[in-house]
Amino acid sequence: MPGRRFPAAALLGAILLGLSGASAQQPTSPTPVLTALDYLEIEQLVYRYGYALDTAADNGFAYADLYAPEATFTGTNQGPSGRTYQGRDRLAALARGGRRGPNFVSHYVTNVVIEPAPGGAVGRTYVGILDIGNGGNGSKSRVDHGGLYNDVYVKTPQGWRFKSRSYFESSSGAPVQPPPATMGVPRTLSVAPTASAPPGSRPGLTAEDYIEIQQLVSRYPYALDQNPDEGLSYANLFTPDAVFRQPRTEGRQNLATMASRAPHGPKYTRHFLANHVIEATADGAIGKQYLVAVDIGEMGPPNSIFLGGHYEDVYVKTPEGWRFKTRTFIASATGTETK
Amino acid sequence: MIARYTRVASTVGVLVLALAWCVDIASGQGGTGKPAASFAGLTAADYIEIRQLVARYAYAVDTGADNGNVYASLFAPDGAFADRMGRETRGHEALAALARRNTRGPQSAFHFIVNHVIEPASDGAIGKEYLLQLRMGEGERPNEVFGGGHYEDIYVKTPDGWRFKRRQFIPSEGGPRPRPRPEAEAR
C-alpha cells in the first residue's frame, strides 16, 4: 500500500505545489495575462461541469464539449494507477455511464482556484459528490464521496475548455505537530487590470478586487486541508497582524501552527465554502461565506458532516494583494442568536 | 478504498470501458457542440453582481433578516419564487412572509448554493445553481444532508441593481443507479 500511495501522492504534490508546472512541457507557450472576464469564463466552465455530467445532456456530448480536442479526464481513483479518457466520443460515453437524470444533481463544485500558466491557465476545485434522495421516495440523502479536481484550461476559438481534468478522491491524513515554521514571502494574487476600470478610479471595489478576494477565500481550504508547507500557505493568506477566531489566534506564526494541528493530507478535502458575499468598506472590504466541513475518506467511518456555519471576514489590500485581516467562524445554530 | 478499486479494476473496468465503447459506436450520435460560455451582453461587473445577488439569497432565506424584508428585496417588485411544487409566491409582502415562515434562526446555515451558471438573455440574464440543504447545529440532531436540487433563475437589472425576476426550485431526481458503479462513473 505505501509503495502504491507514494507515486500518487508525489504526483499530486507536484501538481498542487507547482500548479504552473502542469504545463511545463510547453516551454514555448507564454504565460498569458488573465483578465477578470477570463477568470469568470473559466469559472463558468467549471460550474457547467456538474450539470453536463449529472444530466448527461445531449447524450453526454454536453460533457464532452467542455473539453478541448485531445483533452483528457483522469480518474486517479479508478484502477491501480488511474484511468484516462480521451476524445469526444469516449468522454460522452463516460458522462452517460453513471446515475443520471434531467433534474439530477450530484457534483457540487466549489473552492475554485485559478492561476495563469504557460499556454492558458491551471486550477483546482473541491467536489462533493452527493447522493440526494429523490423527492417522495423516502431515500436518505448523504455525502457519497468527494475530493479534488486538478485542471488545465486552454482558450479555444469557442472559449475556455478543459485541457485536462484529474480527480483525486479525498483521504485524510493524521494531524501532526509541525516543526517550527519559517515564514516565506507571500505570493501575489494578481488579476490583470482592465482599461475600463482602473483601480481606485471609482469608489467601491473593481471587478479585479472581487476576483482577487474570491481567489483569496478559495485558497483557504487548500491551505488548511492539504497544508503542504507546515501552515505557511495558510498563514500567508492573512496580514501579519491578523486575528482568527475561534480559538483566537493572532499573527502568522500562530496561524501556521494552528493550521498544522488540524487534520490534513495531500488529498484531503474537508472545508467546502459557498455563498461568498463581498462588500466594499471605507478601508477595504468585508465578506462572509458558508462553511461545511465534511469528513470524507476517513478509511472506515461513513462520511459525515463535522461542522457547519459561516465565516465573517475583514479583507485588506496589501502590497502582496488582498489578505484576511480578521476571520471569525460562527457555528450554525437554529433558534435565537447565541453568539 | 484504493485496494478495493484495485481488485475490481482490471476485470470490471475493462469490461465497462469495452461496453461503453460499444454503446458509443452503436448510438452513433453526436452533440450539438454548443459553446460552454458566452458573455455577449454581460460585463464582468454584471456577472459579479449577479453572483453576489445569489450568494445573498442564502443568508436572507436562512436568517429571515429584517422580518423577511431582506429576502423580499432580492426580488424585483413583480418578482416571484416558485417552490418544488411550482407554487408561486409573488410580490414583496408575500415574499417577506415566506422568509419569516422559513427562517431557521439568525445564525443558521442551511442553503449551500454552488455551480452558478449565468447566461445573458434578451432582457437580462438567466442562471442556475445547485442547492445543498444541510441540517447543522440543530440541537441533539446529528448533522445531516437534508436534500438538494437546483434553482432556475431569471434576473433583471433594476435601478437598484440586479434582482430575481423569478426563481424556481427543482428537487433532485436521479435515474436508476447503474452497476457496476465506480469504474464507469466520471467523478
Entry pTM:
0.81
In angstroms, how far is the first alpha carbon of chain A from the final one? 46
Cβ-based neighbour number of residue A244 at 10 Å: 22
A247 burial via Cβ count (<10 Å: 0-12, 13-18, 19+) = exposed
Concatenated DSSP letters of A63-86:
HHTTEEEEEEEEETTSSTT-EEEE
* Predicted local confidence at residue A111, as pLDDT: 96
Q: Shortest CA distance to A108 belongs to which of A71, A139, A142, A152?
A: A142
The radius of gyration computed from the CA coordinates of chain A, to the nearest angstrom, equals 20
Residue B183 pLDDT > 70, yes or no?
A: no
* Predicted local confidence at residue B37, as pLDDT: 43
Query: Which phi-psi region, left, alpha or beta, contains residue A300 (left: φ > 0; alpha: ψ -120 to 50)?
Result: left
Alpha-carbon distance B6 to B1, whole Å?
9
Alpha-carbon distance A261 to A50, whole Å?
33
Alpha-carbon distance A235 to A320, whole Å?
13
- Closest Cβ–Cβ partner in B2, B45, B130 for A50: B130
Does B36 contact A48 at a Cβ distance shorter than 8 Å?
A: yes
Condensed to tens digits (0 to 9), the pLDDT of residues B70-102 reads 999 999 999 999 999 999 999 999 999 999 999
In B29-175, where does DSSP find H-type helix?
44-63, 69-72, 92-102
* Predicted local confidence at residue A177, as pLDDT: 44
Rounded to the nearest angstrom, the minimum Cα separation between A316 and chain B is 19
B28 touches chain A (CB under 8 A): no
Q: Report how far apart, in Å, the C-alpha atoms of B47 and of each of A188, B23, B43, B95 are.
A: 24, 39, 6, 25
The residue written with cell numbers 409582502 in the block is B93
Rounded to the nearest angstrom, the minimum Cα separation between A183 and chain B is 34
Which residues are A317's β-sheet partners?
A322
Does A85 contact B6 at a Cβ distance shorter than 8 Å?
A: no
The answer to which of A170-184, A253-267, B72-86 has the lowest mean pLDDT is A170-184
A182 touches chain B (CB under 8 A): no
B85 touches chain A (CB under 8 A): no
Alpha-carbon distance B57 to A160, whole Å?
29
Rounded to the nearest angstrom, the minimum Cα separation between A79 and chain B is 4
* Predicted local confidence at residue B175, as pLDDT: 77
A204 touches chain B (CB under 8 A): no
A201 burial via Cβ count (<10 Å: 0-12, 13-18, 19+) = exposed
Q: Say if residues A189 and A324 touch (Cβ distance below 8 Å).
A: no
- Three-class DSSP category at A295: strand
Q: Can you read off the three cell numbers belonging to residue A228?
A: 503542504
Does A110 contact B139 at a Cβ distance shorter than 8 Å?
A: no
Rounded to the nearest angstrom, the minimum Cα separation between A294 and chain B is 10
Q: What value does the mean pLDDT take over residues A288-307? A: 84
Does A291 contact B35 at a Cβ distance shorter than 8 Å?
A: no
* Predicted local confidence at residue A96, as pLDDT: 95
Residue A193 pLDDT > 70, yes or no?
A: no
- Closest Cβ–Cβ partner in B55, B171, B173 for A277: B55
What is the 8-class DSSP label of residue A229?
A: T
- Three-class DSSP category at A60: helix
Condensed to tens digits (0 to 9), the pLDDT of residues B109-131 reads 999 999 999 999 988 999 999 99
B143 touches chain A (CB under 8 A): yes
Predicted confidence band at A316 (pLDDT cuts at 50, 70, 90)? very high
CA A325 to chain centre: 21
Rounded to the nearest angstrom, the minimum Cα separation between B36 and chain A is 6
Condensed to tens digits (0 to 9), the pLDDT of residues B155-179 reads 999 999 999 999 999 999 887 777 6
- Give B104's contacts in chain A (Cβ within 8 Å): 334
Does B175 contact A272 at a Cβ distance shorter than 8 Å?
A: no
Alpha-carbon distance B138 to B153, whole Å?
30
Nearest 5°: phi and psi at A50? -60, -45
Residue A132 pLDDT > 60, yes or no?
A: yes
Helix (H) or strand (E) holding A169: strand A159-169
Which one-letter amino acid corresponds to residue A98?
A: G
Q: Contacts from A335-339 at CB under 8 Å and sequence distance 24+?
A: A335/B105, A336/B105, A336/B106, A337/B105, A337/B106, A337/B107, A338/B107, A339/B107
The answer to which of A140-144, B4-8, B132-136, B171-175 has the lowest mean pLDDT is B4-8
Kindly give, in sequence order, each residue whose CB lies less than 8 Å from that of residue A10, ignoring residues fewer than 6 positions away: none
Choose from A34, A35, A40 for mutation: most chain B CBs within 10 A.
A40
Predicted confidence band at A175 (pLDDT cuts at 50, 70, 90)? low
